[in-house]
Structure 1
Amino acid sequence: MKLAPLLLLANLFSGAVMAQSTCSVTHFDTVNIEPTIEAVNYDKQTQMAAVHHSAPMRCATISFQTEHTLNKVANAINDEFEATYADMTMAKSHLITFSEDDIDSGYIQLRRHKPQTVYACFSTSNTPITSISCKFE
């Protein structure tokens, strides 16, 4: 009987419990930024030119909420979002932009169960984003 409270306490601090995501994406709208530069290859023998288009940058406007109230340096959470593409490849966010109204002295306050919106860019890809997840530690 005396071991039961210790086992319960051990479960609360186990790696599986501590690794649970403290963030959930509630909605996202994808934004595709088409490249402004195209490459042209010219073949002198055939006198043909081939235009190569780069893949678009995949970004999204993301609505999310956290399980805890957190104060974070806004620039320090650039890689807290992860996109899964239709071909099952994944990419972490590398650019995060919050509304200027949400940032105070470089910090963002993420309030428990209060929806927040962020704009995030991931990588260039020819396949669309199918899901986005987030995790704040």
Structure 2
Amino acid sequence: MKLMPLLLLPSLFSPFVIAQPTCTVTSFQAINIEPTIEAAKYDEESQTAEIHHQPPMRCASITFQTAHTLNKVVNAMHDEFEVTYADMTTTQSHLIKFSDDATDSGYIQLRRHKPQTAYACFSTSSTPITSITCKFE
């Protein structure tokens, strides 16, 4: 009789009970925004100019889907995506935009298992994007 509760324990930890990701990125297309301003430093002694190039802003068009239907405020979703660069550094998105057709009064409805596309920008980086994850809750 004392062993009976132990037999029920494995059923509590079945694969269906373990938390599954709420959001999955199915594909992305990297978009690099080159800086429009370059800095130049002129050395009068050697009469040379050194031009400093900033790395591009790394953005992406992201197709993703969620495991649940969610209503989200678009302006509050700025850090829902995380990018990993080729040098293994990571950063959160700081800008997310959806098409005007997908939003209604500043809200977006993310439907369960229905692909959505978003445009997100992350940070400037000299290395390219290798992967993107999302964490809608």
What's the TM-score, normalizing by structure 2?
0.88
Q: Which has the larger radius of gyration?
A: 2
Which residue is equivalent to 1:71?
A: 71
Which residue is equivalent to 1:90?
A: 90
Give the Cα separation in 2 of the matches to 1:2 and 1:21.
29
Q: 1:85 to 1:100 in 2, by over 3 A?
A: same
RMSD (Å), alpha carbons: 1.8
SS at match of 1:75: helix
Which residue is equivalent to 2:116?
A: 116
Which runs of 5 or more structure 1 residues have no equivalent in the other structure?
none
1:10-49 residue pairs with structure 2 within 5 A?
A: 11=13, 17-18=18-19, 20-49=20-49
Q: How far did 1:21 drift?
A: 2.5
Q: Which runs of 4+ in 1 moved over 4 A?
A: 2-9
Which residue is equivalent to 1:105?
A: 105
SS at match of 2:76: helix
Q: How far did 1:91 drift?
A: 1.0
